[in-house]
Amino acid sequence: MLFTPLTTLFFLVPLSTALDQFRHGVILEYADASGLTKRDNIVDHVARSLPGVKLKHRMDLSSDRIFHGASFRVTETAGHVDDNLLRRALTQYRDVITVYPLDVVQLQVQPTFDDSRGAAVRPRDVAQGAGAEADHVARARVPDQTSTRTRARKHRPREDAGLTDSGAGTGNSSASGLYVNYGTEGSPLVNPHASTGVDRLHAEQLTGRGVRIALLDSGIDAFHPALGGGYGPGFKVYGGADLTGESLDDPNSSVYTPGSSPLTQCENHGTGTASVAAGLPYHFGFVGVAPNASIEMYKVMKCRATTVHSDVGVKASIMAFDSGVDVISMSIGGPGGWSNSAWAIVLERIIAQGTLVIVSAGNFGAKGPWIANGIAGGFDTPNVASAGGPYSPTLIANGSYSVNGGPPIPMQYVPGYPANWSSSVEVLYAPNFTGCAPMPDLGAKPNQVILLQSPWTPQNADITCSTNLSDTALGSGLKNMILYMKHDETPDQPVPIDLLDGLLYALDGMATMSRSLALQLVQHAAQGDKVTLNLPWRPDGPETRMLSMAKNTVSGGRPSYFTSWGPSYETKLGPAVMAPGGMSLVLSGRMLGGLDVASGTSFSTPYIAGVAALVKQVNPGLSPADVVNRIAAAARPAPMASWRDDPVPGGLLAPTFQQGAGMIDAYAAVHATVVLNVSSLAFNDTAHLKPLSFEICNLGTQAVDVHIAHAPAATVYSFAPGHIKVKAYREDDFVAQNVVDKPASLTFAGSATLDIHLAAGQNYTVTVAAVPPAGLDAARLPLLSGFVNMTTSAGDVLTLPYGIIGEPLVDVHNLDPQKTFLTYDSLWDEFDNGWVPFTNSSQSIVLPQKVPADPTTLYNTSLPGWTFVTVFGSRLLQVHLIRNDTGEDLGQVALLPGSDSGSPAKKVVDTWIRNERSFGQWAGQLLQSDGTTAAAPNGTYRFSIQLLKVSGNPQKPGDFDEVLTDPFRVEMV
The residues annotated as belonging to the active site are: 217, 269, 602
How many residues are given for the chain?
A: 973
**H or E element, residue 181:** none
CA atoms within 13 A on the CB side of 281: 23
DSSP E strand stretches across 129-272:
136-140, 212-217, 237-242
Query: Residue 765: left (phi > 0), alpha (psi -120 to 50), or beta?
Result: beta
Distance of CA 846 to the CA centre of its chain: 46
Q: What would the 3-class secondary structure string for 58-77 be? A: EEEEEECCCEEEEEEEEEEC
Residue 827: alpha-carbon gap to chain centroid:
34
Residue 167 makes CB contacts below 8 A (sequence gap 6+) with 160, 183, 281
What are the angstrom distances between the C-alpha of 352 and each of 355, 633, 693?
Answer: 7, 21, 22
Strands 448-453 and 425-427 turn out to be parallel
Rounded Cα–Cα distance for residues 301 and 256 (Å) = 9
Side-chain half-sphere exposure of 478, counting CA atoms within 13 A: 27
Buried b (16+ CB within 10 A) or exposed e, 353-387: eebbbbbbbbbbbbbbbbbbbbbbbbbbbbbbbbb
> How far apart (Å, rounded) are the C-alpha atoms in residues 893 and 896?
9
Phi, psi of 329, deg, nearest 5: -115, 130
Q: What angle separates helix 310-323 from helix 342-352, to the nearest 10 degrees?
A: 10
Spatial separation of the C-alpha atoms in residues 22 and 828, rounded to whole Å: 19
Question: Residue 713 burial (CB < 10 Å; 0-12/13-18/19+)?
Answer: buried
Residue 575's nearest CA partner among 716, 781, 381 is 381
Name which of 816, 819, 813 is nearest 961 in CA terms.
813
Asked whether the beta carbons of 630 and 614 are under 8 A apart, the reply is no
Residue type, 555: S
- Paired sense of beta strands 96-101 and 26-30, if any: antiparallel
As a dihedral over the C-alpha atoms of residue 772, residue 777, residue 783, residue 788, rounded to 10 degrees, the angle is -20
User: In terms of Cα–Cα distance, which of 859, 924, 864 is closest to 53?
Assistant: 859
Question: By C-alpha distance, which of 679, 667, 644 is closest to 558?
Answer: 644
Residue type, 910: D
Q: Is 443 left (phi over 0), alpha (psi -120 to 50) or beta?
A: left
What is the amino acid identity at position 519?
A: L
User: How do beta strands 864-869 and 917-921 pair?
Assistant: antiparallel
Peptide bond into 837 cis (omega under 30): no
User: How many Cβ atoms sit within 10 Å of the Cβ of residue 810?
Assistant: 17
What is d(CA 780, CA 569) in angstroms, rounded to the nearest whole number?
16
Q: What is the DSSP string of 122-142?
A: -GGGG--GGG-PPPEEEEE--
Burial class (CB in 10 A: 0-12, 13-18, 19+), 120: buried
Residues 524 and 403: their CA atoms lie apart, in Å, by: 8
d(CA 733, CA 363): 21
